[in-house]
């Protein structure tokens, strides 16, 4: 009799846990995007130019180095920050300066931003500076898009494929 009570309580506890898990799997409801607006995401990771240009070593300088350190170029590790601007319909929506990652600031800078825009037609202009130039941009991208309510537009950047792209 004691075993039957124990098994009954165990089944009841498992059933309560299963019902609670099922309930919390769909409630409270989480909306990823507003149903009336579209979402623009900017997601990129890119290594900017180095703070100092690389220096070509002479054969004598290379020979003076330890065998495992012999390279033709000597490069400063530290990189410049990335500067990104994004305009939507002529209004500056985003301006960021992303610092390089890593202990020696020698890794890529990463940017992830997300914001809502009204659904409809928009002109998107993205600009990126990854060099030491004082003004102007190294990469510029312009696209006219039609954004549907509740949908996403992702702006990415890959130097190997020519710069910015959207999907």
d(CA 123, CA 83): 20
Q: What is the pLDDT of residue 26?
A: 81
Give the closest residue to 123 by CA, choosing from 95, 88, 99, 83. Answer: 88
Q: What angle do CA 136, 121, 155 make, to 5 degrees?
A: 50
How high is the pLDDT of residue 83? 96
Three-state secondary structure string covering 3-31: HHHHHHHHHHHHHHHHHHHHHHHHCCCCC
Among the listed residues 141, 86, 136, 139, the one whose alpha carbon sits nearest the alpha carbon of residue 115: 86
Which pTM value belongs to this model? 0.75
The predicted model gives 144-159 an average pLDDT of 92
- 1 confidence band (pLDDT: 50, 70, 90): low
Dump pLDDT digits (tens) for 23-51.
888 888 777 667 788 999 999 999 999 99
CA dihedral (88, 47, 102, 66) in degrees, to 10, reads: -170
């Amino acid at each position: 009799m004691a075993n039957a009570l124990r098994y009954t309580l165990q089944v009841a506890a498992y059933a309560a846990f299963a019902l609670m898990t099922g309930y919390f799997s769909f409630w409270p409801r989480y909306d990823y995007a507003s149903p009336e607006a579209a979402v623009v995401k900017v997601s990129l990771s890119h290594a900017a130019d180095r703070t100092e240009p690389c220096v070509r070593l002479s054969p004598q300088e290379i020979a003076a180095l330890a065998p495992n350190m012999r390279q033709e170029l000597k490069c400063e590790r530290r990189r410049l920050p990335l500067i990104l601007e994004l305009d939507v319909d002529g209004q500056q929506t985003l301006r960021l300066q992303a610092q390089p990652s890593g202990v020696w600031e020698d890794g890529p800078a990463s940017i992830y931003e997300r914001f809502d825009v009204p659904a409809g037609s928009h002109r998107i202009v993205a600009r990126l500076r990854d060099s030491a130039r004082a003004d102007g941009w190294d990469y510029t991208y312009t696209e006219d898009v039609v954004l549907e309510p509740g949908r996403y537009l992702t702006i990415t950047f890959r130097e190997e494929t020519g710069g910015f792209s959207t999907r």
